[in-house]
A and B are shown apart, each in its own frame.
Chain A
Amino acid sequence: MKTIFLSALLLLQTGLLWAQNEAALIKAVKAKLDKVANYQASGNMSIDAAFIKAPASAITAYYKKPNRFAIKKQDGLNILPKGGVSINLSSLLGGENVTAVSAGTTVLNGAPVRIIKLLPLDDKSDVVLSTLYINEKAQLVQKAQVTTRDNGSYEMDMKYGKYAAWGLPDKVVFTFNTKEYKLPKGIAMEYDKGNSGKPQKPVDRKGTVTINYTGYSINKGVDDKVFGK
């Protein structure tokens, strides 16, 4: 009831006029994405966060309808911000239980975009609110801001290229908030140069994960095993 009421309120604010348009746009975008039943993409992932330093590494991303997504490294450790990266656009746009609310327009990277807020109607959904910046003409999501119940807020910036027709980005930048890094006493594995003084608090508590996709293999089938569990 509450959500319906809230949605209604939002709808009133943004104007009924747009209502149909938002739903149509989302639908169009989703239809484009729905052409992809599954894909396997290779790319390069790098992490930039205040307290984690890892080498950029080759990864393979797997997707299967409706919302299964996984990023695998060929070997070595797979480091991902919790929650964020594993949610992909399809699943954001997914389910029917979403209310779309228009929040105006803006210009992103020199192109006009529509801002649409999505409110899941399902109380149990981890995603509480997502804001999409959609290029109407290209029917592509340029940016998404997602607030989750358990995994904080994050942002996805997407750049499209060769695979724009499928709604698949060439580059995705995830921005997320990091919590404070603390190590149990006596565990530090480093040499003290003796000039450290007071440990500096990281100023910027945001981290990013950048994935550059080099190629997609679309609708060629993906083995369920890659998603584990």
Chain B
Amino acid sequence: MWQLTSIELFKIFKKPRTYISFVAIASIILLVQLALYVDGETYLSFVMQSVNETFSIEGKRLNGYFVCYTILQTLLVHVPLLIALVAGDMLAGEANMGTLRLLASKPISRSGLVLSKFAATTVYTIALLVFMAALSLGLSILLFGTSDLMVFKSDMLLILSQKDVLWRYFGAFGFAMLAMTTVASLAFLLSVFAENSIGPIISTMSIIILFTILTTMDIPLFNSLKPFLFTNHMLNWKGFFEDPVDYREVLKSAGILVAHIVLFLSVVIFVFRKKDILS
């Protein structure tokens, strides 16, 4: 199993498209950092319009923690595309290249093949998020320093002591890994039905965009659907920036995501085991 996974990882990291994600993430993060570095105060005064009427908040407001939060806030919504880019290619891409029949005619069980491919996809997902964490948190701290973190909620401004922030980021990135693995498992699921990778990548994104629209539109009918949409739970990395953290809520979301992963992966294994490989 480990050997199979290492082969899959070798293939992933030899594939040029893998690095698209890393380059895309690096450039988005660097752009946001540059923008905030040059003109962060303008952004802050925009966000803080109403707060500034009553309070004066002084100090390093535009610190690494705040920049990281801003980056995650804007970027994490788009990372699913980058995950789908690789995950959607795992089975469909091989079918398209004609290499799936090579794999499936080797003395490896089909379930083992699926699991090793998924394991490799997960490693890729984690690598991408670690990379993202290093840039968005590490580099931001280097560039902007640290101070207390301001979290602008819809009904209040929460200020978290700088000593109380780092562990939240670890939690948030850990949660984001789980959320992105869910995306990967969805792309993976769609990948098993397709013979080229464009289909699964686009349908994964379509599903996520659709669900996200349902999540963000404030319509009572859709609101009642919210608890059932995994995309909604994917945003619960923000739960780590509550004070105190509502662990019940975070764990509930995490549980729902894990359930999705298990469900999607089981379907993939079930389908792939029975699939006639004709590509």
Any A–B CB pair closer than 8 Å = yes
Chain A residues within CB distance 8 Å of chain B:
49-55, 57, 73, 75-82, 176, 178-184, 187-194, 199-200, 202, 207
User: Which of the residues A82, A190, A191, A193 comes within 8 Å of B54, measured between beta carbons?
Assistant: A82
Chain B residues 124-175 with CB under 8 Å of chain A are: 147-148, 150-162, 164
User: Which of the residues A50, A76, A187 comes within 8 Å of B161, measured between beta carbons?
Assistant: A76
Question: How big is the B interface, by class?
Answer: 35 or more
Report yes or no: A189 in contact with B159, Cβ–Cβ below 8 A. no
With A189-B153, A199-B154, A200-B155 as contacts: A57 and B47 at CB distance below 8 Å: no
Max chain A C-beta neighbours (<10 A), residue from B51, B60, B241: B51
Chain A interface mostly helix, strand, loop or mixed? loop
Contacts of B58 in A (CB 8 A): 77-80
Chain B residues within CB distance 8 Å of chain A:
46-47, 49-51, 53-61, 69, 73, 147-148, 150-162, 164, 215, 223, 226-227, 232, 235-239, 241-243, 249, 253
For A178, give the chain B residue with the smallest CB separation.
B54
A55 vs B151: C-alpha distance when bound (angstroms): 13
Report yes or no: B147 in contact with A75, Cβ–Cβ below 8 A. yes
User: Which of the residues A180, A188, A207 comes within 8 Å of B153, measured between beta carbons?
Assistant: A188
User: Which of the residues A73, A176, A189 comes within 8 Å of B69, measured between beta carbons?
Assistant: A189
Report yes or no: A181 in contact with B55, Cβ–Cβ below 8 A. no
Contacts of A49 in B (CB 8 A): 54
Query: How far apart are A139's CB and chain B's nearest CB, in angstroms?
Result: 32
A188 vs B74: C-alpha distance when bound (angstroms): 11
For A57, give the chain B residue with the smallest CB separation.
B161
Query: How far apart are A165's CB and chain B's nearest CB, in angstroms?
Result: 32
Report yes or no: B69 in contact with A77, Cβ–Cβ below 8 A. no
Report yes or no: A194 in contact with B148, Cβ–Cβ below 8 A. no
Query: How far apart are B158's CB and chain A's nearest CB, in angstroms?
Result: 5
A55 vs B227: C-alpha distance when bound (angstroms): 31
User: Which of the residues A55, A73, A180, A187 comes within 8 Å of B152, measured between beta carbons?
Assistant: A187
Contacts of A50 in B (CB 8 A): 156
A-B contact pairs, 8 of them (CB 8 A): A54-B148, A55-B160, A77-B59, A82-B53, A181-B155, A189-B73, A191-B249, A192-B232
Contacts of A55 in B (CB 8 A): 148, 159-161, 164, 243
A176 vs B54: C-alpha distance when bound (angstroms): 9
For B252, give the chain A residue with the smallest CB separation.
A193
Contacts of B155 in A (CB 8 A): 51, 181, 199-200, 202
Closest 6 CB pairs of A and B: A194-B226, A54-B159, A76-B148, A191-B238, A77-B59, A188-B154
For A54, give the chain B residue with the smallest CB separation.
B159
With A55-B159, A78-B58, A191-B239 as contacts: A184 and B249 at CB distance below 8 Å: no
Query: How far apart are B32's CB and chain A's nearest CB, in angstroms?
Result: 15
A189 vs B72: C-alpha distance when bound (angstroms): 10
With A54-B159, A189-B73 as contacts: A181 and B51 at CB distance below 8 Å: yes
Report yes or no: B55 in contact with A79, Cβ–Cβ below 8 A. yes
